[in-house]
């Protein structure tokens, strides 16, 4: 075999090496097969590229340059084919890079319901067990539902523009959830057993116990022969369920235009001598029944309206109502 033949055989071998190598890298079905191909072709010890490189010593000097150039091209092509293969299989490894599975986990921060929402949900649940269903009314209310139908006369100080958010056109932001009593009775005949929970608005100066917006729970029960004893029983059972068996509540004679007789309901504040008003209550005034077309000779009922913030504050020992509206997560996270 002459030197020329030997050189052209060697060139043919480089062609074959390139074709087989590229095929091996491209057809590798997984990282293991790719690695087997890498060892066979690009392996430093016995790889075929390495052998082809060593063969250059045996190439006649006049063919060395061409062989060398071709060899470099083949080696480059095989390295590229291997890189391509790595890209196909390396992805998971790339994601896992930098992941230390032995590090302690970082718990995701869970959100939860605002304490006032928790209170509202619990009240709905509690009164649900006493047979009360939930009613709703609008926060933008007309003056008729907020005052007239509740037997609050034109001259009554509760209508003072300085004590209410009036809107154009005979509307206002409701100042009490008692409005919902009227809306319910307008729509359905007795018997009625509902609560309504929602926001009410009064232009009070904000301090530790006042806000221009707060929440009330309104209750209304109408049937034949409902008495004040029913009212007191329901409120006492409610207070004990929500605030604890040992909680004391008391009823003080009072006046509301929409109830007769009327009481104010106090709860004992944190066991001490201090009593804090929970809200008002009473037996529905016959004039209110007349306004909604109920017969006051046939039906009687009780109503109550309690402040939700106060209940929530009493339950959790919160001493400043403003904390409930600040949305400071350091505060909210405690509940
Ligand atoms: N609406 C009254 C208020 O906001 C509270 C109230 C008193 C509601 C007596 C009632 C009630 O249903 O019977 O001050």
For residues 215 and 318, membership in a common domain is answered with yes
| CA–CA gap between residue 25 and residue 20 (Å, rounded) | 9
Same domain, 171 and 273: yes
Q: Which residues form the pocket of ligand 1, taking CB atoms under 6 Å from any ligand atom?
A: 176, 178, 218, 256, 259, 279-282, 303-305
pLDDT tens figures, 31-85 = 899 999 999 999 998 899 999 999 999 999 899 999 999 999 999 999 999 999 8
> Residue 267's pLDDT band (boundaries 50, 70, 90)?
very high
DSSP 87-128: HHHHHHHHHHTT--TTSPP-PPPPP---HHHHHHHHHHHHHH
* Beta strands across the sheet bearing 275-284: 133-135, 192-201, 213-223, 300-307, 275-284, 259-268, 249-256
pLDDT by residue (tens digit) across 299-312? 999 999 999 999 99
Both 92 and 150 in a single domain? no
* Closest ligand 1 atom number to CA of residue 302: 13
Q: Do 70 and 219 fall within a single domain?
A: no
Last residue of a domain, one of 69, 96, 123: 96
Ligand 1 centroid vs 273 CA: distance in angstroms?
A: 25
Atom of ligand 1 nearest to the CA of 306: 5
Residue 156 to residue 73: CA distance in whole angstroms: 101
Largest Cα separation within the chain, whole Å, is: 131
Return the ligand 1 atom nearest residue 176 CA: 4
CATH number of the domain within which 219 lies: 3.30.930.10
| 3-state secondary structure at position 48 | helix
pTM score of the predicted model = 0.70
């Amino acid at each position: 075999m002459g030197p020329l033949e030997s050189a052209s055989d060697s060139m043919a071998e480089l062609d074959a090496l390139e074709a087989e190598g590229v095929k091996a890298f491209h057809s590798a079905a997984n990282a293991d097969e790719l690695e087997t191909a890498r060892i066979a072709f690009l392996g430093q010890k016995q790889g075929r590229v390495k052998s082809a490189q060593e063969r250059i010593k045996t190439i006649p000097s006049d063919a060395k340059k061409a062989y060398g150039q071709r060899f470099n091209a083949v080696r480059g092509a095989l390295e590229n084919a291997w890189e391509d293969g790595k890209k196909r299989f390396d992805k998971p490894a790339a994601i896992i890079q930098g992941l230390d599975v032995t590090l302690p986990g970082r718990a995701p921060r869970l959100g939860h319901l605002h304490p006032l929402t928790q209170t509202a949900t619990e009240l709905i649940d509690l009164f649900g067990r006493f047979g009360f269903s939930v009613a709703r009314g609008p926060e933008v209310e007309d003056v008729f539902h907020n005052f007239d139908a509740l037997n609050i006369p034109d001259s009554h100080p509760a209508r003072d523009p300085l004590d209410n958010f009036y809107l154009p056109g005979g509307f206002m932001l409701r100042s009490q959830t008692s409005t919902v009593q009227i809306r319910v009775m307008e729509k359905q005949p007795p018997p009625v057993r509902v609560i309504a929970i929602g926001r009410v608005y009064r232009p009070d100066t904000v301090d530790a116990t006042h806000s221009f917006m707060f929440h009330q729970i309104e209750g209304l029960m109408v049937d034949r022969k409902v008495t004040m004893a029913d009212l007191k029983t329901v409120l006492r059972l409610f207070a004990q369920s929500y605030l604890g068996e040992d909680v004391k509540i008391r009823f003080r004679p009072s006046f509301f235009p929409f109830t007769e007789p009327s009481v104010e309901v106090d709860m004992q504040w944190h066991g001490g001598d201090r009593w804090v008003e929970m809200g008002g209550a009473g037996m529905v005034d016959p004039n209110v029944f007349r306004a909604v077309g109920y017969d006051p000779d046939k039906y009687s009922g009780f109503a109550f309206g309690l402040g939700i913030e106060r209940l929530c504050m009493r339950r959790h020992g919160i001493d400043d109502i403003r904390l409930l509206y600040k949305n400071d997560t350091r505060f909210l996270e405690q509940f």
